[in-house]
Amino acid sequence: MQEVCGIDYHTSSQHKESSEARKERDHKDLFTVISFLQNRDPFAEDPSLRNIETGVIADGNVNVDKAKDVGSTIVQEMAGKGVTGFSFKRSQQATTMNAKTAVKVDGDSIEVDPQLLFQRLLLASNGMYDDKAEIFRYELCSHPSSLFDTSGLMRASKSLPSLMQYGG
Separation CA 55–CA 46 (nearest Å):
12
Could you tell me the pTM of the whole model? 0.43
Residue-range domain boundaries for the chain: 101-156
Q: So what's the pLDDT on residue 31?
A: 92
Q: Both ends of the chain: CA-CA distance in Å?
A: 38
DSSP character for 110?
Answer: E
Q: So what's the pLDDT on residue 58?
A: 81
Q: So what's the pLDDT on residue 122?
A: 79
Separation CA 123–CA 33 (nearest Å):
36
- Cβ atoms 78, 85 nearer than 8 A: no
Q: So what's the pLDDT on residue 115?
A: 73
Separation CA 32–CA 110 (nearest Å):
39
Assign 144 to helix, strand or coil. Answer: coil
Question: Among candidates 111, 118, 110, which has minimal Cα distance to 146?
Answer: 118
Question: Among candidates 145, 142, 114, 150, which has minimal Cα distance to 54?
Answer: 142
Q: So what's the pLDDT on residue 26?
A: 92
Separation CA 18–CA 83 (nearest Å):
54
- Cβ atoms 95, 114 nearer than 8 A: no
From first to last of the 168 residues of the chain, give the pLDDT tens digit: 777 877 877 666 667 777 888 889 999 999 999 988 887 888 888 888 888 877 778 888 888 888 999 999 999 988 888 888 888 888 888 888 776 566 667 777 777 776 777 788 778 778 777 777 777 776 666 666 677 776 666 777 665 555 455 554
**Kind and range of the H or E element at 21?**
helix 20-39
Q: So what's the pLDDT on residue 46?
A: 80
Q: So what's the pLDDT on residue 168?
A: 47
Q: So what's the pLDDT on residue 72?
A: 92
